[in-house]
Amino acid sequence: MLLAYLSQRLQVQVQSFKVGPDYIDPMFHQYVTKRPCRNLDPILTNDAYVKQSFERHSRGVDCALVEGVMGLFDGATGVDDIASTAHVARLLELPVLLVIDCSRLSRSVAAIAHGYRSFDPRVKIAGVVLNRVSSDRHLQFLKEALESIQLPILGVLRRADDLTIPDRHLGLVPTAEITQLDQLIDKFARLGEICFDWERLLPLLKRVRSLNVTTQDDKKTADATCSTSLRIAVARDRAFSFYYPDNLEILIQLGAEIVYWSPLTDPDLPENIQGLYFGGGFPEVFAQQLAENKSARVAVKTAIEQGMPTYAECGGLMYLSQAIVDFEQKSWSMVGVIPATAIMDARLTLGYRQATVLQSPLFKTGTAIWGHEFHRSRLNQTPTKPLYKLQGYNSSSSILEGWQAYQVHASYLHLHFGGNLEIPQQFIQRCLKFRESQVSAPN
């Protein structure tokens, strides 16, 4: 709603950010602002990268807005606020706009707001947005309660049960699948205009000073850039849409040309490519269409069997498996280079994972990285040569996960390359070696 008003009504340049490991919310941000939304995640990257990313991408725009995650102080462990909205607000020295569900509140709203404001004095609560207000009388009760703690009300949102975005098993339905999305965004923009106190809110969204950050990571990327370009085919369509923009940009900065293609509709791979990248998404929703595009599946399998370096995350892992069994228990054939079947399940696997590389065609053995899992599928076989030893955040227990075959690195783990440049660097090097082997191979 805020982004819609700023972009459509005020027509200002606004850069959005999202705390945490999220793909779908940033799609909506980008759809509205026409600028890639940037994830700010101190675990998948680090504190310095979060600050560098915010400073770099908010430079030159009119407004910068960060969407939080979960509750303000809810961190990765449940016992501290690491990687929480509060953590990122402190890192970036940003004021917080606190949204409170008032559907079952009146005077208690002041106690809740006071508790949030006093819980950590390092976090500045700039004001509150009262959500799900039912009537003028209800609003009056809320205003009178908040007067006692002198916390400004910067927005009031009335109940609007008819104004919703459709969702399914992993959250919101992505933008590419929603019809009449423009009309919905227009409604949000009109509501945003009348529901917020823009005279007091706008100054909070404008950057008045810079953070004290270094740009050493930019120099590392530049130093590692390949002298010759290569082409990496990135699967991107309604089935595969979960990509951090930073990951793709880092590959480009390292010398790769990104070529997008669709496993749903393209009959073959792009020409003259040296690597494959399959992100996450919803292959289970489009399993029938993926299965019916047999020529694309054969092309992928042939390229992999010829040794083409391939990086696959979550949905990409499922696509490279033997088959996907959907929620209706129907089985659909996939690429088949991984000797396992992906079965959809009611159980949600979710959380940060610390991964130690055991053996991988792409990454150095012993490399320690942080990733994130978020899926409702499972494989019916355990890997014989696992990629990783995985541990949950602050957990002593571990599991073996990830598959390799030929030059494939496939796992349920989502990675952010900004936290570890060695990952894309190794991938690029493998792609270069593959190109050299193809050039030197006899006809």
Which residues are part of the catalytic machinery?
Answer: 314
Size of the chain in residues: 443
The answer to whether 322 and 338 are in contact (CB under 8 A) is yes
User: What would the two tokens of residue 98 be?
Assistant: 């606190």
Residue 93: alpha-carbon gap to chain centroid? 23
- The Cα 247–Cα 121 span in angstroms is 35
Work out the number of other CB atoms within 10 angstroms of the CB of residue 53: 21
Residue 65: alpha-carbon gap to chain centroid? 16
Instruction: Choose among 24, 20, 39, 30: nearest CA to 85.
Output: 20
- The Cα 70–Cα 88 span in angstroms is 13
The answer to whether 235 and 243 are in contact (CB under 8 A) is no
Instruction: Choose among 376, 389, 372: nearest CA to 41.
Output: 372
Q: What are phi and psi of 243, to 5 degrees?
A: -135, 135
∠ CA 428-429-431, nearest 5°, is 65
Instruction: Choose among 80, 91, 8: nearest CA to 50.
Output: 91
The answer to whether 395 and 353 are in contact (CB under 8 A) is no
